[in-house]
Structure 1
Amino acid sequence: MKTLRSFKSLALTLSLIAAAVLSSPGAAYADDVTIGLASGLTGPSAHYGQDIKRGAELAIEDANAQKLTIGGKPVHFVLQVEDDQGDPRVGAQVAQKLVDAHVVGIVGHFNSGTSIPASRIYHDAHIPMVSPAATNPTLTSQGFANVFRLVNSDAQMGELAGRSAVESLKGKSIAVIDDRTAFGQGIADEFVKGVEKAGGKIAMREYTTDKAVDFRAQLTHLKSANPDVIFWAGLDQQAATVAKQMRSLGMKAVLLGGGSFENDTFLQVAGPQAADGAMSWGYGAPVGTSKTAQQFDERMKSKFGEGVVAFAPNAYDATWVLIRAMQKANSINPTVYVKDIKSVSFTGITGDVSFQSNGDLKAPGATLYKVQQGKWVPIATTNGDKIEPLKTN
C-alpha cells in the first residue's frame, strides 16, 4: 500500500508539473519547429546583429500567419536567438548550444570569422545553415552540402570593387587598408585581384585590427603614395573614423568600400564633411527600386522603430529558404530537407534567390553608392559582368 500511495503521489506531482509547464507564458507549443539564429547582438557590430534578428523575426511571423502544414501536420515556427558576440570562440559555443537544442536549421552567423568555425559544427550535426551576411569564400569552399549564404561572396564583391576602382573611378594610385578579420583580409585580397585583372596596380597596402580607433600611422604612410582611391576592408564605424582622419591629414582620395559601410551609421559617425564623396558597393539591387523592399523597410520602422540597417532582408529571405525547403521536402527533418535547399528558387526581399552547387547565390546583384549631400545615392549597378551607371537627379 505504501508503494502504491508513493506511486500515486509521484504521478500526481508529475501531472501538476506538466500542467504548470504547459500553462506557463513561455511554454512551447506541442508542434513547435525551432529555427536557430546566431549573430553578434552585443559589441561594435550589434546594430548589424539586431538587424538580422529583426528580419528573421518578421519571416517567422509571416510563416506562422500562413498556418503552414508540413508532413501532414500543422507547424508553428519559433526562433531561438543566441549572441555569438562576433567572437569565433563564442560562436563555436553558440553553435554547439543550438545543435544540443535540436534546432532544425540555422540563420547565421553575421561575421565570417564566427560563421566558418560554426559551420563545421552544424555540418557534423547535419543541420542546414544559411548565412545572411558572411562573405568569406572559405565558408562555401569547404565541401559542406549544408552551408549556404544569401549575400555576395568576397570573391564576387571584392573583384567587382577592384574593377570599379580602375574602370569607373579611373584610379591610378590605389591603396588598401584591411582590418585582418576573415572578412577584411578576404575582401582585400579579392579587391587586389580585381584591380590587377583590370590592368591597375596597388601602390601600397596597410593593415590594422577590428579594435583600432586610430589609423593616422597607416594613412600617413599611404599619403606618401598620393593615392586617389583608398579601399577600406572593414566595417562601418571604423570606416567613418578612417574618413575623418583622412580629411584631417589633407588626403583627398576617394574612400571606397565593398559591402561594408553604405549605411546611416557611417554617415552619423563620419559627419557630413568627412563622409562626402565616400563610395561603397552594396549587396543587391539599388535601394528604392523595389516596392517590396520599400514596404519591408516601412514595416521594420513600424514594428521596431528603425528601418533596415543592412542585412534584415537577407535574414528574412534566409529564414524562408529553410522553410521553403521543408515545404518542398514535406519534412522538418534537417537530414531530409537539406537536399531540397539547392533547388529552392523564389523572388524574395533581396531579389531572385537560388543557389549554385557550392551554396553561393547564382546571380547576386550589387550597387555602387556615393555620399552626396549627406545621403547615400546609387550611382551604378551590375548587369551580368558589366558595371552600368545609373541616372541620378
Structure 2
Amino acid sequence: MQVTTKLIPLAIALAFAGTASAQQVVKIGHVAPISGPSAHLGKDNENAARMAIDELNAKGVTLNGQKVTLQLISEDDGADPKQGTAVAQKLVDAKVNGVIGHLNSGTTVPASKIYNDAGIVQISPATTAPVYTRQHFPGAFRVVASDAKLGSTLSKYAIDTLHAKNIAIIDDRTTYGQGVADEFAKGLKKPGIKVVGREFTSATATDYTAILTSIKAKKPDLIFFGGMDSVAGPMLKQMKALGITAVFMGGDGMCTDALGRLAGDGLGEGRVYCAEAGGVKGPQEKVMEDFRARYKKKFNMDVQLYAPYVYDSVMVMATAMQNAKSADPAKYLPVLKNIKYEGVTGTIQFDANGDIKDGALTLFTYKGGKRTKLDVIR
C-alpha cells in the first residue's frame, strides 16, 4: 500500500505558521475514553496530560523568545472508533498544534489518518497495535512498546517459565485485543505447544459462560486474553464459578491495579500474569515513585496505568516545540524525530517508524489482590 510521506500541504502549513506568536496560545489536544467501561483509564490519562500542562505553564514556556500559554483541549472518544474519528476532526477544526492520544488502538488507528491529512503531530501514550506506525505516517509516534514485542515476550514467558503446553486464546475483537492475541499466538509455533482453542467475545459483553465452558472441556494449562481489564475481571469471576483453574495471562489492557477489584475472588493467588508496555528499574524507579506521589497529591488518587506515559508524551512534544522555537508541526516535527528526552518513563527516542527505541516491558503477577512486579525486560 502506498502511503504519502508529505506531512503538510502548503495552505495548512501557512495556517499553522506563527500560531504561537499570533495567539500566544499553544493548543494541545488529548483524547481518551472518559466515558464507558475504560473511563478509569481515560481519566487517568487526562489527569496526567493536565498535570504536565499545568507544570509547564507554571515554569513558563517560551517559543522563539516569546512566552506562550499551553492550553489542553481534552476530548472523549468513548473507546469507540466512530466517536474517535469525530473528535479527531473536532481537534483538527480547533487547529490544535499537536495531539496526545488516543488510548485504545481501535480509536488511535482510524484517527491517525485524520491527523496525518491535517498535518498534526500525534503521540500515543498507550496504543500498542503494530499497524499504527506501520502506516508510515510521518507525524505518528508512540512512547510504549508495540504488541509485536509484548506478544512475543508473553508467549516466551508462558512456555519457558510457566511451562504451559496446552493454551487457549480469547480476544475481544477490538484492534488492540485481537492484535495482541495474534502476536501472542505467533510465539506459540514451537514443538510440543498446542493451541487447544481460539475464542472471541466483545468489549461490551458481560456473559462469557459459553466460550469458557467450551475452553474448559479442552483442559488448557493457560488461557490468554486479549482485551481490557473491564472484561478480564468479570471473566476471571466466571472462570472461578466454572471451576477453571488454568493460569490466566494478558497484555497491558488488563494489567491494572483495578483488575483485583474487578475480578474479586476470581483473581486467585499468583495465577494471573500480564505485561505492561513500559517500565523502569534501577535509579529510574525513584523518578517514577516521585511522579506517582506528585500525581496522587494533585488528584487524590493513584496512577491507574498509562499516566506516566501521557505525562512524558506532553513533555517530549513541548520540548520539541521549544527546541524548534515553534509550535508549527512542520517545524517541530524534524526535531521530535531526532529527540532524546529523559522522562519519567526513561529515555525517549524514536526510530524511523515513530516507535519508541528499546521499549521496555514490565511483567506482573497478582498476589494478595495486588499487582506485583516480576521483572522489567528490554
Please give the TM-score of this superposition, normalised by the length of structure 2: 0.90
Distance 2:48 2:227 in 1: 23
Between 140-149 and 343-352, the greater mean CA deviation after superposition = 343-352
Q: Which residue of 2 aligns with 1:379?
A: 374
Assess if the C-alpha contact under 8 Å between 2:236 and 2:267 holds in 1. Answer: yes
1:72 to 65, 68, 72: 65
Deviation, structure 1 residue 260: 1.9
Assess if the C-alpha contact under 8 Å between 2:165 and 2:192 holds in 1. Answer: no
Distance 1:157 1:300 in 2: 27
**Pairing 1:280–2:274 present:** yes
Counterparts of 1:111-150 in structure 2, within 5 Å, are 111-150=104-143
**Pairing 1:226–2:211 present:** no
**Pairing 1:266–2:266 present:** no
Deviation, structure 1 residue 274: 3.1
Q: Which residue of 2 aligns with 1:191?
A: 184
Assess if the C-alpha contact under 8 Å between 2:267 and 2:369 holds in 1. Answer: no
Distance 2:131 2:265 in 1: 37
Deviation, structure 1 residue 284: 2.1
Q: Which residue of 1 aligns with 2:304?
A: 309
**Pairing 1:239–2:239 present:** no
Counterparts of 1:223-372 in structure 2, within 5 Å, are 223-276=216-269, 277-285=271-279, 290-372=285-367
The gaps in structure 1 that reach 5 residues or longer are 1-28, 385-393
* Letter aligned with residue 154 of structure 1: D
Distance 2:290 2:265 in 1: 28
Say how many residue pairs are matched.
Answer: 355
- Report which of the two structures shows the higher radius of gyration computed on alpha carbons: 1
Q: Aligned to 1:192, what secondary structure does the other structure show?
A: helix
**Pairing 1:97–2:90 present:** yes
Q: 4+ runs of 1 displaced by more than 4 Å?
A: 286-289
Q: Aligned to 2:356, what secondary structure does the other structure show?
A: coil
Which has the higher relative contact order, 1 or 2, with Cα contacts under 8 A spaced 6 or more apart?
2
**Over aligned residues, Cα RMSD in angstroms?**
1.7
Distance 1:145 1:198 in 2: 40
* Letter aligned with residue 147 of structure 1: A
Please give the TM-score of this superposition, normalised by the length of structure 1: 0.87
1:2-32, CA deviations, whole angstroms, 9 ceiling, x for partnerless residues?
A: xxxxxxxxxxxxxxxxxxxxxxxxxxx9511
* Distance 1:318-1:197 versus aligned 2 partners, 3 A rule: farther
* Distance 1:188-1:213 versus aligned 2 partners, 3 A rule: same
1:329-386, CA deviations, whole angstroms, 9 ceiling, x for partnerless residues?
A: 111111111121111111211112111110111111111111112211112331x4xx
